[in-house]
Structure formats: C-alpha cells, structure tokens
Amino acid sequence: MPLAPKTKRNLVTTALLAPSGLWLFVFLVLPFAAMVIFSFGERAPAGGYQPAFTLAQYANLPARAAAFWNTLILAPVGAFVCLLVAYPAAYFLAVKADPRYRLMLVSLVVVPFWTSLLVRTYAWMYILGSRGIPNLLSMIGIEDVRMLNTPGAVLLGIVYGYLPLMIMPIYVSLEKLDRRLLEASADLGAKPVSTFFSVTLPLSLPGVMTGVALVTILLLGEYLIPQLLGGGKVFFIGNALVDLFLQSRNWPFGSAIAVTLVLVVVVILMVAMRIAWRISGSRQVDLV
Amino acid sequence: MRALMTAVYVFLYAPIALVVLFSFNAGRSASEFTGFSLQWYGKALGNTFLITALQNSLIIAFTSAILAAVFGTMAALGMQRLGPRMRAVFEGLMAAAIVVPGVVIGIATLVALVAVFGAINPAIASLWPGERPPQFGLGYGSIIAAHGLFTMALVAMIVKARIASLGRDIVEASADLYATPWTTFHQIVLPQILPSVLAGFLLAFTFSFDDFIVAFFVAGSKTTLPIYVFASIRRGVTPEINAVATMVLVASLILILAARVLMRERKTKSTE
C-alpha cells in the first residue's frame, strides 16, 4: 500500500536529519549535560570524578582567578588590536583594490586561517625564541632581550592568528555597501573623511561587531597561543582546563570552569547579537 | 593604504616563509642560513613515531570528513523541510557546535565518554563468555566523533547556503515535468550542490587534520600529527619540526585552495 504523501515526506525528512540529529545529541547535548553534572561532583582521591552534589567547585573558582583575568583582558584587547589592523585592510580590499585582483587578494588573506594554528604559532615561537630575533640583536650588541613568554608575545600571536577572521566579516559588510550612498554623500558636498565617518563606518558596524564577537569568543577558549608564546607565565582559561583535566585530574573543578566559560561565551554572544541587531535593525547576523 | 596592505601580507606570510626557509637549513640556527640541505626532511620521514602520527591523522581526518560531508549534506537538505520551530532547534544546535570553544568540546566529550565507558565496560565484562572481554576506550572513535561534530555543522552550513541560493523555480519546473522527487534530487539538486559538498569535505578534512586541542583531550593513547608536533615543540625547537611544519602547511594549503576553487564556482564574489 503506498504511503500518504505527507507521511512519506515526514519519513524522508526524519531520515535526512536522523544521523546529524543523533550526532548532535550524543556528542554535544549529552556531553554537555555530563559536564554540568560533573561540575557539581567531587574529585575522587585518585583523580577524576566521584558523584556528589556540592557547589564547592563553583565556590572554588577564585582559585583560578588569574586565568580568568588574563583571558577576559587579553581576549578583548587582542580582538581590538586585531580590529585596528583589520579595518583598514578590509577597507582596502573592498573599496580600493583593483577588482581584477580582488578575489586573489582576499584569498591570500583567508588561506592562512585554514592552515594549522599550531604551525603558525610555532613560527613566532621560532622567531621570538633565543635563536631568532634576540640572537640577531645580540650580534649588533643588544644583549639579553627576552621576547618569548611575555604578554606582548601572546598578543602578537593572537593578532597573527586571528587577523584573517577579523578581516573577513568587515570586508563582507564593506563590500555589500551601496556605492551610490558614497556618491550621494560626495554630491552633497561631504569631504571623503566625513563621508567615511558618517556613511561608511556606521554601515560597516555589523561586520565589525561580527568580527569582534567571533574573535573574542574563539580567544576565550584559546590554549595554543598562550601555551607556546606565553610559556606558562601568561595563561588562559584553556591552559587551566588542560592542566586540571590532563595533569592534576581534578575533573569536577575543571568542569565547573568549563561551564563558566560557556556561560561567558553565551553572554558575550547575546550582547553582541543585541548590539548588532540594534545597529542593523534586523535580526540577521552572519556568524561565520 | 597600499603600503599598509603590503605590510599586512608580509605580516601574514613572512613568519611562515621563515619556517619553510629554515627547514632547508644545513645548520640548526634559526637566524643564520648556513647552506641548503634536505637532511631535516630525511630525519623527519625516517622517524617512525612521526609516520604513525601522520597515518593516524590521515585516517581520522578522512573518516570524520566523509561522515561530515554525508551527514552534514543530509542535514542541510532535511533542515529546509522542517517547520520553523524544529528548524530553529536544529540550527541552534549546529551553531552551538561551531561556536562552543574546542577546549570545551574536548572536555565535554572526554567526560561523557569516560562516564559511558566506566558504566558499560564492567557490564560487558560480566556478560562476556570468553576470557578477554572487549574494552571500549578513547582513540580513533572518540577523535572522529568530536571532530565530526564541528565539521558536520560546518558542511551543513556551507551546503545550506548553497541550497538557499538555488532557485525554487528550477525544482518546481522539474516537478511540473513529472519528474519524481528522487529524479529531481539527483538530476537537478545534487549536481548543483555537489561543489559545495566537496568544498565542505575538504574544509572538514583540513580542520580535522590541523586540529590540536580537541584531539588532545579525547585521543587517549593515540597520537595525531598535531599532538606529535606539539610534544616535540615542548622538547625544544629544532629544524626537524620546521620540516614537519612545512609538510603540514603544504598539505593544508593544497586542500584549502581546492576548496576555494570549488566554492568559487557558486559565486563570483567571494564572501568567505
């Protein structure tokens, strides 16, 4: 007996979504629930987790305050420095670049983002390390310059690692900009500078918001850059988490930190979307 | 303006170029080039730990990318058939899979899998008739599962964007001409979305191949290439790492460039 069209349609939809739905449930929703449960537990004597219901882990969060502060300061600062470099670059690509080469120039910016962050961070470790720039400096008589394992090195690594991700959304918003608005502004006697500040910049703010939010959120979970360029002296929440899970094996405390990190991410995301919504007057926010 | 852009490109590429250059250095210095040599590549390729790590990375990247491409495409096709409420739930979960930091994905997967294994391994052992019951543990499976989560959402997003840009009229025209839904799908829709599926596959492969932090948590005793590179960096910076890094870079460059060529087919102006 042939199935009714509606039933058949629903069956196909279910079949299409079953694998990914199952995946999302088993490897995202369930693990997240497990992590929340663990965060209310206690550390087993030999490490790991033992069931309990206590808020002790959350009360203990100030023990890792340094990691939170480093992250919550360096992530936005890093995103902001990124923005300062990215905006003119995106403006150049979208407005000034020769259209014939635009695609290639944009590709050149995007491609590094998809290559290994580990390798790109290693490059700076290599350059800032004792056999790199400090070695060159000592040849011209400047001795004992330490560049690696400083906040500056971490900031440099952040800007280097996330610049492409900041440039892209700004580029997209500038590229979508209606050129006629700029002409109208010029026709009405506005100087290029005032056209930029009263037309171009406000209209590109959604892209700026997206870029800042994306980079900040990714930086909140960063591990490699502070690990390799901060050398344990400038550590992020990500470094504290690796330590708690893989070295000291205090899983409940680590879970509490991870849950807190996710809450911070959610709050930042909501604030960013609220601002972007207010700026652009619509709920559409390109996240990636 | 032009000078600034040039500076941005130099900033982006000079450090990588330096790593590549010094992978061919005859000496160990990072600031003095003492002659051309392939010895570090020979050393790297003769290193059995490294080759094992590379094999593991390739197996994991290939499997998770295939899963992501197939299930992600199915999800993209399925999501547009959903009602607004279910669709919002699905899209929200996909967005979460992309936005939640890798560190957290790694931890959550680790915690959940260890809890599950802790429960089922003794159960299986008590029911197992033979001498040595199978033990579930972290390894290929857990890395593939965790990588698949992010990359599946990534593929779904890319393919969904492509479907959205396809006109409904072409599908309706096909139906008007009495094509069955299946015929319409594999004659009309599939050829149009295939480039973006392939691009998604390549991006998923690249992500998995390059990922360090997620695998670091859920790899168990398995070593992937980024985990190997990370461990050797901690032992000290050597030109051998430069050689490995160069090979990793070349591999991901080829993949990402192929992905971009495939994605370019669908739009004249790139908005990646």
CA distance B143 to B67: 13
Residue that wins the pLDDT comparison between B156 and B135: B156
Which helix H or strand E contains B202, and what residues bound it?
A: helix B190-210
Residues of chain A neighbouring B113 (CB-CB closer than 8 A)? 31
Give the mean pLDDT of B227-235: 89
Three-state DSSP at B36 gives: strand
CATH class, range A64-280 = mainly alpha
The interface residues of chain B toward chain A in range 211-270, judged by CB-CB distance below 8 A, are 212-213, 216-217, 226, 229-230, 233, 237, 241-242, 245, 248-249, 252-253, 255-257, 259-260, 264, 269-270
Question: What sign does the dihedral B1-B4-B6-B8 (CA atoms) show?
Answer: negative
CA distance B259 to B211: 18
pLDDT of residue B205: 93
CA distance A233 to B231: 19
Residue that wins the pLDDT comparison between A193 and B154: B154
Which helix H or strand E contains B163, and what residues bound it?
A: helix B140-165
Q: Which domains does chain B have, with CATH numbers?
A: 1-37 (no CATH), 50-264 (1.10.3720.10)
User: Which of A27, A176, A284 is the best residue to mutate to test the B interface, defined by the most B CB atoms within 10 Å of its own CB?
Assistant: A27
CA angle at A92 for the pair A76 and A185, rounded to the nearest 5°: 100
The interface residues of chain A toward chain B in range 36-75, judged by CB-CB distance below 8 A, are 38, 48-49
Residues of chain B neighbouring A168 (CB-CB closer than 8 A)? 272
CB A76 within 8 A of CB A264: no
Q: How confident is the model at residue B266 (pLDDT cuts 50, 70, 90)?
A: low
CA distance A169 to A209: 9
pLDDT of residue A36: 93
Question: Can you give the residue ranges of every domain in chain A?
Answer: 64-280
A19, A31, A175 member nearest B108 (Cβ): A31
pLDDT of residue B116: 87
B98–chain A Cβ distance below 8 A for any pair: yes
Three-state DSSP at A48 gives: strand
Question: Residue for token digits 């900009």?
Answer: A177
CB A48 within 8 A of CB A125: no
Which residues lie below 8 Å from residue A63, measured CB to CB, with a gap of 6+?
Answer: none
CA distance A95 to A175: 7
Task: State both tokens at A128.
Answer: 């800032």
Distance set, CA A32 to CA A192, B113, B150 (Å): 51, 11, 14
Cβ-defined contact of B74 to A20 (cutoff 8 Å): yes
CA distance B79 to B57: 31
Q: Which residues of chain A have pLDDT under 70?
A: 1-3, 280-288
A20, A24, A88 member nearest B4 (Cβ): A88
Chain B nearest CA to A231, separation (Å)? 10
Question: Residue for token digits 């032992």?
Answer: B235
pLDDT digits (tens, 9 = 90+) for B38-52: 888 998 888 899 899
CB B199 within 8 A of CB B158: yes
pLDDT of residue A111: 85
Q: Look at A205-209, B11-15, B140-144, B165-169 and tell me which has the smallest mean pLDDT.
A: B165-169
pLDDT of residue A288: 36
pLDDT of residue B269: 41
CA distance B259 to B265: 10
Give the mean pLDDT of B74-98: 90
pTM: 0.87
Where b means 16+ CB within 10 Å and e means fewer, B26-41 reads: eeeebbeeeeeeeebb
CA distance B240 to B232: 9
CA angle at A227 for the pair A224 and A230, rounded to the nearest 5°: 125
Where b means 16+ CB within 10 Å and e means fewer, B153-190 reads: bbbbbbbbbbbeeeeeeebeebeeeeeeeeebbeebbe
Distance set, CA A42 to CA A257, A259, B33 (Å): 14, 15, 54
Q: DSSP letters of A119-158?
A: HHHHHHHHHHSTTSHHHHHHHTT------TTSHHHHHHHH
pLDDT of residue A162: 93
pLDDT of residue A287: 40
pLDDT of residue A3: 67
Going by C-alpha positions, the residue among A253, A259, A263, A243 that lies closest to residue A41 is A253
Where b means 16+ CB within 10 Å and e means fewer, A117-155 reads: bbbbbbbbbbbbbbbbbbeeeeeeeeeeeebbbbbebbb
pLDDT of residue A93: 92
ipTM for the whole complex: 0.85
Going by C-alpha positions, the residue among B115, B151, B148, B141 that lies closest to residue B222 is B141
Task: State both tokens at B255.
Answer: 């993949």
pLDDT of residue A18: 93
pLDDT of residue A2: 63
Going by C-alpha positions, the residue among B241, B207, B213 that lies closest to residue B227 is B213
pLDDT digits (tens, 9 = 90+) for A159-201: 999 999 999 999 988 988 877 888 888 888 888 888 888 888 8
DSSP state for residue A221 in the 8-state scheme: T
CA distance B24 to A122: 17
A6: left (phi over 0), alpha (psi -120 to 50) or beta: alpha
| 3-state SS, one letter per residue, for A194-205 | HHHHHHHHHHHH
User: Which of A114, A120, A249, A261 is the best residue to mutate to test the B interface, defined by the most B CB atoms within 10 Å of its own CB?
Assistant: A114
CB A31 within 8 A of CB B112: yes
Cβ-defined contact of A16 to B75 (cutoff 8 Å): yes
Alpha helices in chain A (DSSP H): 5-24, 30-39, 56-59, 65-91, 99-110, 117-128, 133-139, 151-175, 179-187, 192-195, 201-220, 224-230, 237-242, 251-280
CB A169 within 8 A of CB A280: no
Question: What sign does the dihedral A116-A121-A125-A127 (CA atoms) show?
Answer: positive
Residue that wins the pLDDT comparison between B180 and B63: B63
Chain A nearest CA to B75, separation (Å)? 5
Cβ-defined contact of B19 to A119 (cutoff 8 Å): yes
Q: How confident is the model at residue B152 (pLDDT cuts 50, 70, 90)?
A: very high
